[in-house]
Structure 1
Amino acid sequence: MTEPQPKKTETTCGCKLGRVAAKYDLADLDETLVGDWTGDGDERRSTRELATYVNQQILKIALTNADIPPKEGEIENMYRLLTSDDVTSGTRIEIRNELERDGVPIEAVESDFVSHQTVYNHLTKCLEASIETPNDEERLERSEEKLGALKNRTAAVTTDTVEQLDRKGILEIGKFNVNVSVTVTCEDCFREYTVRDLLDQRACNCQEPGSAEI
């Protein structure tokens, strides 16, 4: 198995993303990243979304180099199985072993994956791109994504822990599901909200003019 070698794409900078773009011959990547990051309204993509895009392109090229033409939707699903917090370690190991058997140097490929912070640094420092301060809607959306990711990670870690204990015979359990619920309670009126409801509503009912106290 051989790693992808640099092709005709020139390294635009010395950061990791610049080196990866050259290694995988990701032509016009900088233009795509800047355009998507600074786009207007719904066209704008976060650095987290752009990191996912870059990493999926890396995975796609790695499969192609191993003579495994990916089918529609396969790259997205495979990337999720490799990186998502809601995927068990057993499933992740299985997909990695399968890729290794098919000739994909998955360890090297995963080491080339970039984080959203790497994308941000590349955009702002290497490409000198900038965007306006996010509005309230964007801040709420990012907050919801962050809290959702933490919730999924808690569920995944709990599932993995229970599975390990079950396999070792330390506890016994049949087929199970893990559900994580986070609520916020207003100490002024003692109303309880799910995080999503509170973000959607943006205020406790007791903060509205004319609301009766409990």
Structure 2
Amino acid sequence: MTDAPETQSDAKYDSSCCKVTRIAAKYDVLDYAETAPWNSHNYGYPTEFDRYLAARYHGDSTSNHTGDSLRDLDAHFNALVTEAAITTADEPSSQQVVKYRPRDVYEILSNKREVGEQTRREIASSLETIGIDTDDLRADYTSYRSIQTHLKEHMEVDTSRSPTTREVARKTLLSKVNRIEAITPQMLASLQKNGRLADIGEDITVPSTPDDMRITVDVTVENTKTGDVVNVERLLADEEPDEKD
């Protein structure tokens, strides 16, 4: 990584920089970002927002966060934009009207997740109810290319990644698994409420509320030639194997 500028300030954003910082300032996304451990680091960047991006991208040795990929950082940023838009909407009960998480709303609006047309209409209708124009919100979403350009050209961050270590791969996998386990109950409950779950023809009752569900994701890899199956977490176990002589 190229050395960052040494001058720091208390400024939150430099809205004259590019679309990323203009949108960040427009929605004041830092008000919706987690504060620890990012605010304890001195990355040398002149604005609080750039220091936050640097921390998200590079990760933190004192936490389980190993650093976002460009796509994950972009999705995280757009989720903050969505949360800010919903929270500051004209309707006082906006967070009750929009029943989906900001990250889910972003992924569905930007067609990054496959859902039924009814779900799309439900989200669009709920946003419009609280005064949010979905086309305007989509226009404010950034792309991972925009994030990359901001990191490289304005923050002088080397966005090339070193080869993935087993620890990084394990933590990345676990974060994805944890996310699937977190969002699945809400989606199932919504489908159950609207009578849109598949009829599997068995005497099985699906809980109607997320709190009554326990979702388990087991990721395995199968050798299609031998039929051998192994849990991926075993392949990414903490301890490195002993070195051979």
Same fold (TM over 0.5): yes
State the Cα distance separating 1:100 from its structure 2 match.
1.0
Aligned partner (choices 45, 55, 59) of residue 35 of structure 1: 55
> Residue 11 in 1 paired to residue 15 in 2?
yes
Report the AA paired with residue 60 of structure 2: D
Cα shift readout 1:148-178 (whole Å, capped 9, x = no counterpart): 7xx9xxxxxxxxxxxxxxx9xxxxx74699x
Say which of 135, 150, 153 aligns to 1:107: 135
Residue identity in the other structure for 1:109: L
For the 8 Å contact 1:9–1:26, the answer to whether it is kept is no
User: Counterpart in 2 of 1:127?
Assistant: 155
Matches within 5 A, 1:1-214: 10-14=14-18, 16-26=19-29, 28-41=48-61, 42=63, 43-47=65-69, 48-68=71-91, 71=95, 77-83=101-107, 85=113, 87-130=115-158, 133=162, 134-142=164-172, 174=199, 183-185=221-223, 187=225, 189-193=226-230, 198-199=235-236
Secondary structure of the residue aligned to 2:101 is: helix
The equivalent residue for 1:164 is: none
Measure, in 2, the Cα distance between the counterparts of 1:32 and 1:75.
28
Pairwise CA distance, 1:13: 2.2
Bigger share in helix: 1
Give structure 1 regions of 4+ aligned residues with deviation exceeding 6 angstroms.
Answer: 143-146
| Per-residue deviation, 1:71 | 4.7
Unaligned runs of 5+ in 1: 1-7, 152-166, 168-172, 203-208, 210-214
Cα distance in structure 2, aligned partners of 1:92 and 1:82: 11
- Percent of aligned pairs with the same amino acid: 24
Cα offset, 1:104, TM superposition:
0.7
2:213 aligns to what? none
Structure 1 distance, partners of 2:173, 2:103, is: 23
Distance 2:24 2:105 in 1: 23
Give structure 2 stretches of 5+ with no counterpart: 1-11, 31-47, 181-195, 207-218
Work out the CA distance in 2 between the residues paired with 1:105 and 1:92.
14
For normalisation by structure 1, the TM-score amounts to 0.57
For these two proteins, the number of residue pairs brought into alignment is: 174
